[in-house]
Amino acid sequence: MSRPFIPKVVTANALLEGDVVYLTADDRWTRHHHEAELIEDEAHGQLRLLHAAARKSEVVGAYLADARSGAMGPEPVHFREVFRTRGPSNYRHGKQELAAR
């Protein structure tokens, strides 16, 4: 018996900046998890992952990350993905710098 499919988002790292990015339903890369396309079908998820992985001039390391539906859009499920939404952790820059203002 197979396990039920856990909803996912496609995530990767932007090739030039290294920022964590998420694939939206309209094929844009966003730096905001809540704007990502929440994928609720396994076959669709595999197709979206293949599409993302083929965009080698934009991103590296594309993969499917577990997510759940939230009030503002998809929310990360695992600690690793929550941590990735916060931006680099070595010093304040990017998302962390903007949040401190």
Task: Give tens-digit pLDDT for 32-82.
Answer: 999 999 999 999 999 999 999 999 999 999 999 999 999 999 999 999 999
Give the helix ranges, DSSP H, for the chain: 42-53, 79-85, 95-100
Question: What is the Cα 53 distance to its own chain's centre?
Answer: 13
Record the pTM.
Answer: 0.84
Q: What is the dihedral of CA 90, 79, 66, 81, to 10 degrees?
A: -10
Q: How confident is the model at residue 18 (pLDDT cuts 50, 70, 90)?
A: confident
Q: How confident is the model at residue 93 (pLDDT cuts 50, 70, 90)?
A: low
* 51: amino acid identity, one letter: H
Q: What is the pLDDT of residue 68?
A: 97
End-to-end CA distance of the chain: 51
What is the edge-to-edge ordering of all strands in the sheet holding 20-23? 29-30, 20-23, 8-14, 59-70, 73-76
Q: What is the pLDDT of residue 23?
A: 98
